[in-house]
């Protein structure tokens, strides 16, 4: 892959996609309002 | 700077809270989930006089402050916690004019929490049909509140309600009953132990022991107050309810006149047909047929338009932007990815249009009554029927449609089993494989291929029902023991409310699941268009035929096939070939399986690229061309790749596997956790693998 602006933008977009999914996957759910331990919020 | 106030709309289910919310906020609303749970939190802005800005919250329906479900618990937790960021300055209690007595129980409970209240008596347009007359000054005086008659058929009340909200600080916040009337000794003791606390609030907090909630009760443990057993608390709760009804009855005896002779109603007559043990099912069958027709056939028209628009946009980008990796990503990754999200909108819109009509009209409650007994045997709700049937068109809107199932366990089981239903994206895969491996012959006048296709649909349904039955036994969760429900009156749905529902559902799909789908699309695009090694960077050098004899189109098709084979996805396909070999698949099918994770139908397009079909476009001619190539495809030993054994194995793999990133994204959104989509993906893939393995090994 050559180093040019288009390739740089692609790498950046890929990075954003990966970081977004990583954050989404690792996002902690605030369970203080969980009333049923099985409600998928633990 | 404008003054901001917080207003909550509270009321029994089916009292028309959402209509009042829509009238006050218009499209100035946002929908989110309450933290940690998938109960919708609706918040909107309403601008009032003197620059006051009211934040309106539409709380889930509740019958009382004795919570018995996640939805009701949210209301109780909010009203008990003065430090909650959404704690109301004012509560509007929305009541149904035809069920005023029952609705006033909740009103009096909220009033006893010393929150300023307005009583909105909704559906007031029905008073004349039901022979109801209200003495508003008397009711206002004895309930010590401001009352407003509202109706979703008129608008004249909106300004009056806004005016009352603006002057909320003039509203009385007096108690309705003295808790000491319920059990003098117990409440005096409670007051002595906590002299600074509101007595009724203390009581509601203590009662949660006997209810559903888990509000903070540490202060009780740290005191020397001896509370009562759960059964005794329940008895006191009943006593409180009876006391409230007595007082409400006394007020309504004077404040409300009902002349049954003037009442006009067809509800009972309609119910006799719609809940009839034969006609009820027949009618429901036709309703389902209508829904199915809409999301399967009608939605295709706008979907095709969206598809061609995005295809044109892709072409335009490729033609007009400077060539390069980013242009390719924009055209084939981002625009195609967005297209893959937008294309679901027509199906979501049609499904929610129907669901909204069914709910608003009051028919949905009859569906639950009709279907619940059958569905409960499989751990499902009567309301699970609509998502399951909709899943035959597409699992995305179907899973979104599970929101109206109150029991979390029933809702989760419906979410988990819906992807087994044969969705329309499986059809292109089924059609090509069935045509390839199942003989085009007849038995007793029935075509084998048609029988195979029908069997796959039945298999999907059986898989869903069986999994539901098993999940019902495995999942250890609270489950409702009996069905207690209210049959709301029949109403003509308001177009405005139906439109709000459609907009809200579509927006939430795009903003939540859409982003995940787009992110995965970008990653899949990168893996399919990038690779390492000479075969990937200089594919022209690896074409076995004489390049000069090939046309430009033939050359480009061959280059695309070599590049895909040597891309990261191609390498992954080859790496995992040993895993799929026992199922009868080669690396080419392996690549198809990976790319079809974006959408199942992509499998056919991927095979078209691998098998060098020029400009594959799903036309009959191209499909025939692809089928012929697949028919003669052989492995390195000269054995046919697509045989009856490998074909059926592949069909079963697609029948059971969770090959759809969009479905996983929507399951994540609806369960508020990655745990369930991850489990769903692993278990469905394992089932698919084992079934396909056994089938291939047995047939071959």
pLDDT in tens, B268-305: 788 888 888 889 899 988 888 888 788 777 888 898 89
B329 within domain boundaries: yes
* Chain B residues whose beta carbon lies within 8 Å of the beta carbon of residue A32: 35-36
- pLDDT, tens only, B208-225: 754 444 455 666 666 666
Inter-residue contact B343 to B303 (CB < 8 Å): yes
Distance from CA of B568 to the nearest CA of A (A): 14
Question: Within a 10 A sphere around the Cβ of B260, how many other Cβ atoms?
Answer: 7
* Chain B residues whose beta carbon lies within 8 Å of the beta carbon of residue A28: none
Cβ–Cβ contact B520 with A under 8 A:
yes
Across the interface, which of A4, A18, A32 has its CB nearest the CB of B35?
A: A32
Inter-residue contact B343 to B306 (CB < 8 Å): yes
CA B1, distance to chain mean position in Å, is 39
Range scoring the smallest mean pLDDT among B154-163, B200-209, B303-312, B367-376: B200-209
Task: Return the structure tokens found at B519.
Answer: 């992110």
B66 shares its domain with B208 = yes
Cβ distance of B408 and A38 shorter than 8 Å: yes
Of B236-250, B483-497, B609-623, which has the strongest mean pLDDT? B236-250
Per-residue pLDDT, B485: 66
Cα separations in angstroms, B534 against A23, B360, B546, B558, B563:
36, 63, 19, 15, 10
pLDDT band at residue B461 using 50, 70 and 90 as cut-offs? very high
| Res. B365: pLDDT tops 70 | yes
Which residue numbers of A have CB closer than 8 Å to B's CBs? Answer: 1, 4-7, 9-10, 13-14, 16-18, 20-21, 24-25, 29-36, 38-41
B436 within domain boundaries: no
Helices B514-529 and B661-671 pack at an angle, to 10 degrees, of: 150
Task: Return the structure tokens found at B502.
Answer: 């459609």
Residue B421 CA to residue B165 CA, distance in Å, equals: 49
Question: Within a 10 A sphere around the Cβ of B669, how many other Cβ atoms?
Answer: 22
B629 within domain boundaries: yes
**Length of chain A, please?**
42
**A with B: how many residue pairs have Cβ under 8 Å apart?**
106
| Res. B506: pLDDT tops 80 | yes
Residue B608 CA to residue B586 CA, distance in Å, equals: 15
Biggest CA–CA distance in chain B, Å, is 102
Residue B399 CA to residue B172 CA, distance in Å, equals: 45
- pLDDT, tens only, B312-331: 998 999 899 988 888 988 98
Question: Within a 10 A sphere around the Cβ of B301, how many other Cβ atoms?
Answer: 10
Inter-residue contact B477 to B408 (CB < 8 Å): yes
Task: Return the structure tokens found at B431.
Answer: 């059609």
**HEC letters along B142-180:** HHCCEEEECCCCCCCHHHHHHHHHHCHHHCCCCCCCCHH
Helices A5-26 and B514-529 pack at an angle, to 10 degrees, of: 130
B207 shares its domain with B308 = no
Distance from CA of B353 to the nearest CA of A (A): 27
* Chain B residues whose beta carbon lies within 8 Å of the beta carbon of residue A19: none
* Chain A residues whose beta carbon lies within 8 Å of the beta carbon of residue B412: 38, 40
Cβ distance of A33 and B77 shorter than 8 Å: yes
B358 shares its domain with B409 = yes
B82 shares its domain with B140 = yes
| Res. B695: pLDDT tops 70 | yes
- Total domains in chain B come to 3
Cβ distance of A36 and B212 shorter than 8 Å: yes
Cβ distance of A41 and B37 shorter than 8 Å: yes
In DSSP notation, B507-575 reads HHIIIIIHHHHHHHHHHHHHHHH-B-SHHHH-GGGG-SS-GGGS-HHHHHHHHHHHHHHHBHHHHHHHH
Closest C-alpha among B607, B523, B537, B602 to residue B567: B537
Residue B236 CA to residue B203 CA, distance in Å, equals: 10
Across the interface, which of B325, B409, B671 has its CB nearest the CB of A7?
A: B325
Closest C-alpha among B67, B58, B69, B64 to residue B21: B58
| Res. B38: pLDDT tops 70 | no
Question: Closest chain A residue to B330 measured between Cα atoms?
Answer: A10
Question: Closest chain B residue to A31 measured between Cα atoms?
Answer: B36
Range scoring the smallest mean pLDDT among B64-68, B470-474, B496-500, B612-616: B612-616
Q: What is the pTM of this model?
A: 0.69
Q: Which domain holds residue B339?
A: 279-427+443-500
Per-residue pLDDT, B188: 86
Torsion of CA B615, B619, B620, B621, to 10 degrees: -30
- Say if residue B505 is exposed, middle or buried (CB neighbours under 10 Å; 0-12, 13-18, 19+): buried
* Chain A residues whose beta carbon lies within 8 Å of the beta carbon of residue B523: 14, 17-18, 21
Tokens 């009996």, residue located: B482
Cβ distance of B36 and A41 shorter than 8 Å: yes
Residue B470 CA to residue B483 CA, distance in Å, equals: 21
Distance from CA of B618 to the nearest CA of A (A): 30
Residue B474 CA to residue B468 CA, distance in Å, equals: 10
- pLDDT, tens only, B252-274: 999 988 877 766 667 778 888 88
Give B 109-128 residues with CB within 8 A of chain A: none
Closest C-alpha among B204, B171, B161 to residue B56: B161
Cβ–Cβ contact B674 with A under 8 A:
yes
Torsion of CA B212, B215, B219, B220, to 10 degrees: 0
Name the pairing type of β-strands B40-47 and B53-58: antiparallel
Cβ distance of B37 and A14 shorter than 8 Å: no
Tokens 């095709």, residue located: B304
B149 φ, ψ to 5°?
A: -90, 125
Torsion of CA B318, B323, B324, B326, to 10 degrees: -40
B435 within domain boundaries: no
Cβ–Cβ contact B672 with A under 8 A:
yes
* Chain A residues whose beta carbon lies within 8 Å of the beta carbon of residue B672: 29, 40-41
| B-interface mutation test, from A15, A30, A40, most B Cβ less than 10 A away | A40
B382 shares its domain with B530 = no
Averaged over B533-544, what is the pLDDT? 82
B433 within domain boundaries: no
Residue B477 CA to residue B171 CA, distance in Å, equals: 43
Question: Closest chain B residue to A3 measured between Cα atoms?
Answer: B325
Per-residue pLDDT, B464: 95
Three-state SS at A22:
helix
* Chain A residues whose beta carbon lies within 8 Å of the beta carbon of residue B67: 35
Question: Closest chain B residue to A9 measured between Cα atoms?
Answer: B326
Q: Is the dihedral of CA B565, B570, B576, B582 positive or negative?
A: negative
Inter-residue contact B656 to B691 (CB < 8 Å): yes
* Chain A residues whose beta carbon lies within 8 Å of the beta carbon of residue B318: none
Three-state SS at B127:
helix
Domain boundary among B453, B479, B500: B500
Distance from CA of A22 to the nearest CA of B (A): 10
pLDDT band at residue B466 using 50, 70 and 90 as cut-offs? very high
B272 within domain boundaries: no
B72 shares its domain with B211 = yes
**HEC letters along B199-244:** HHHHHHHHHHHHCCCCCCCHHHHCCCCCCCCHHHHHHHHHHHHHHH
B61 shares its domain with B101 = yes
B290 shares its domain with B378 = yes
Cβ–Cβ contact B272 with A under 8 A:
no
Closest C-alpha among B637, B628, B660 to residue B581: B637
Of B67-71, B118-122, B584-588, which has the strongest mean pLDDT? B118-122
Per-residue pLDDT, B621: 73
Across the interface, which of A16, A32, A39 has its CB nearest the CB of B70?
A: A39
- pLDDT, tens only, B167-200: 888 888 788 888 888 888 888 888 888 777 788 8
* Chain A residues whose beta carbon lies within 8 Å of the beta carbon of residue B513: none
Question: Closest chain A residue to B84 measured between Cα atoms?
Answer: A33
Closest C-alpha among B98, B86, B224 to residue B487: B98
Per-residue pLDDT, B288: 82
Per-residue pLDDT, B39: 63
B486 shares its domain with B519 = no
Distance from CA of A8 to the nearest CA of B (A): 8
B407 shares its domain with B543 = no
Task: Return the structure tokens found at B520.
Answer: 């995965």
B269 within domain boundaries: no
Per-residue pLDDT, B421: 93
Inter-residue contact B5 to B165 (CB < 8 Å): yes
Cβ–Cβ contact B695 with A under 8 A:
no
Report how many helices (DSSP H) and strands (DSSP E) chain B contains, helices first: 34, 11
| Res. B486: pLDDT tops 80 | no
Closest C-alpha among B23, B19, B42 to residue B123: B19
| Res. B347: pLDDT tops 90 | no
Question: Closest chain B residue to A42 measured between Cα atoms?
Answer: B36
- Say if residue B256 is exposed, middle or buried (CB neighbours under 10 Å; 0-12, 13-18, 19+): middle
Q: For B336-348, b where at least 16 C-beta lie within 10 A, e where not — what string?
A: bbbbbbbbbbbbb
Inter-residue contact B429 to B601 (CB < 8 Å): yes
Distance from CA of A16 to the nearest CA of B (A): 8
Range scoring the smallest mean pLDDT among A16-25, B142-151, B606-615: B606-615
Distance from CA of B211 to the nearest CA of A (A): 11
Looking at per-residue pLDDT, the higher value among B7 and B154 belongs to B7
Question: Within a 10 A sphere around the Cβ of B534, how many other Cβ atoms?
Answer: 10
CATH of the domain at B8: 3.40.50.300
B121 within domain boundaries: yes
Sheet containing B53-58: which strands, arranged edge to edge? B29-33, B40-47, B53-58, B4-11, B90-96, B117-122, B146-149
Domain boundary among B209, B237, B263: B263
Per-residue pLDDT, B612: 65
B442 φ, ψ to 5°?
A: -120, 155
Distance from CA of A14 to the nearest CA of B (A): 6
Question: Closest chain A residue to B532 measured between Cα atoms?
Answer: A1
Cβ distance of A38 and B676 shorter than 8 Å: no
B232 shares its domain with B307 = no
Question: Within a 10 A sphere around the Cβ of B285, how many other Cβ atoms?
Answer: 10
| Res. B9: pLDDT tops 70 | yes
Question: Closest chain B residue to A20 measured between Cα atoms?
Answer: B519
Which residues are B5's β-sheet partners?
Answer: B54
ipTM of the predicted structure? 0.78
Residue B596 CA to residue B609 CA, distance in Å, equals: 13
Strand ranges inside B4-131, DSSP E: 4-11, 29-33, 40-47, 53-58, 90-96, 117-122
| Res. B26: pLDDT tops 70 | yes
- The alpha-helical segments, DSSP class H, found in B256-344 are 267-274, 279-293, 300-320, 325-328, 336-342
* Chain B residues whose beta carbon lies within 8 Å of the beta carbon of residue A10: 325-326, 329, 526
pLDDT tens, chain A, 42 aa long: 566 888 888 899 999 989 988 887 666 544 443 333 333 332
Question: Closest chain B residue to A15 measured between Cα atoms?
Answer: B523
B247 shares its domain with B312 = no
Domain boundary among B263, B293, B321: B263
């Amino acid at each position: 892959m050559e180093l040019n602006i288009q390739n740089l933008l692609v790498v950046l977009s890929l990075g954003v996609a990966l970081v977004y999914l990583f954050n989404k996957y690792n996002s902690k759910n605030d369970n203080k309002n969980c009333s049923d331990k099985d409600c998928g919020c633990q | 700077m404008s003054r901001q106030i917080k207003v909550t709309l509270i009321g029994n289910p089916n009292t028309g809270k959402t209509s009042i919310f829509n009238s006050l906020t218009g499209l100035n609303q946002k929908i989110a989930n309450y933290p940690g749970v998938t109960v919708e939190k609706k918040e909107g802005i309403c601008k009032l006089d003197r620059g006051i800005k009211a934040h309106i919250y539409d709380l889930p329906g509740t019958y009382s402050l004795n919570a018995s479900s996640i939805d009701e618990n949210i209301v109780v937790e909010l009203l008990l916690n003065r430090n909650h960021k959404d704690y109301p300055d004012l509560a509007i209690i929305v009541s149904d004019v035809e069920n005023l007595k029952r609705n006033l129980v909740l009103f009096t409970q909220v009033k006893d929490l010393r929150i300023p209240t307005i009583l909105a008596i909704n559906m007031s347009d029905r008073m004349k049909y039901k022979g109801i007359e209200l003495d508003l000054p008397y009711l206002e005086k004895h309930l010590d509140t401001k009352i407003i008659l509202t109706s979703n058929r008129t608008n004249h009340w909106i300004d009056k309600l806004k005016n009352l909200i603006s002057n909320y600080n003039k509203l009385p916040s007096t108690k309705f009953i003295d808790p000491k009337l319920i059990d003098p000794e117990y409440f005096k003791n409670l007051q002595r132990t906590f002299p600074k606390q509101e007595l009724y609030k203390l009581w509601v907090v203590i009662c949660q022991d006997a209810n559903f909630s888990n509000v903070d009760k540490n202060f009780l443990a740290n005191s020397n107050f001896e509370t009562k057993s759960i059964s005794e608390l329940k008895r006191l709760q009943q006593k409180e309810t009876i006391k409230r009804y007595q007082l409400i009855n006394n007020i309504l005896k004077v404040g409300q006149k009902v002349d049954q002779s003037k009442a006009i109603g067809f509800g009972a007559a309609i119910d006799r047909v719609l809940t009839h043990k034969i006609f009820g099912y027949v009618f429901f069958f036709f309703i389902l047929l209508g829904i199915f027709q809409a999301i399967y056939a009608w939605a295709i028209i706008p979907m095709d338009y969206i598809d061609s628009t995005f295809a044109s946009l892709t072409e335009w980008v490729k033609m007009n932007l400077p060539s390069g990796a980013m242009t390719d990503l924009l055209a084939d990754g981002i625009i195609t990815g967005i297209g893959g999200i937008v294309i679901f909108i027509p199906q979501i819109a049609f499904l929610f249009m129907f669901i909204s009509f069914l709910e608003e009209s009051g028919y949905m409650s009859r569906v639950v009554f009709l279907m619940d007994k059958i569905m409960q045997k499989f751990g499902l709700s009567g309301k699970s029927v609509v998502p399951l049937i909709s899943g035959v068109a597409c699992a995305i809107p179907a899973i979104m449609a599970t929101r109206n199932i109150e029991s979390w366990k029933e809702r989760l089981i419906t979410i988990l089993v819906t992807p087994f239903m044969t969705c329309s994206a499986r059809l292109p895969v089924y059609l090509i494989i069935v045509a390839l491996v199942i003989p085009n012959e007849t038995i007793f006048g029935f075509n084998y291929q048609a029988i195979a296709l029908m069997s796959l649909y039945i298999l999907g349904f059986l898989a869903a029902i069986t999994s539901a039955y098993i999940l019902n036994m495995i999942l250890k969760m609270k489950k409702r023991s009996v069905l207690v429900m209210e049959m709301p009156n029949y109403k003509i749905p308001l177009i405005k409310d139906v439109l709000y529902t459609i907009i809200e559902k579509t927006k939430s799909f795009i903003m939540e699941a859409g982003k995940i789908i787009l992110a995965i699309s970008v990653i899949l695009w990168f893996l399919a268009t990038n690779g390492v090694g000479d075969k990937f960077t200089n594919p022209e050098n690896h074409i076995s035929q004489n390049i000069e004899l090939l046309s430009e189109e033939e050359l480009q098709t061959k280059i695309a096939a070599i590049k895909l084979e040597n891309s990261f996805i191609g390498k992954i396909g080859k790496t995992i070939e040993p895993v799929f070999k026992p199922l009868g698949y080669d690396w080419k099918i392996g690549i198809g399986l990976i790319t079809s994770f974006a959408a199942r139908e992509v499998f056919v397009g991927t095979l078209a690229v691998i098998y060098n079909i020029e400009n594959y476009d799903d036309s009959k001619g191209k499909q025939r061309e692809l089928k012929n190539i697949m028919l003669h495809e052989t492995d390195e030993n000269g054995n046919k790749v697509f045989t009856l054994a490998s074909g059926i194995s592949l069909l079963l793999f697609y029948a059971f596997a969770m090959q759809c990133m969009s479905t996983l994204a929507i399951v994540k959104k609806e369960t508020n956790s990655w745990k369930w989509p991850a489990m769903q993906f692993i278990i469905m893939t394992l089932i698919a693998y084992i079934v396909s393995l056994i089938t291939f090994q047995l047939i071959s």
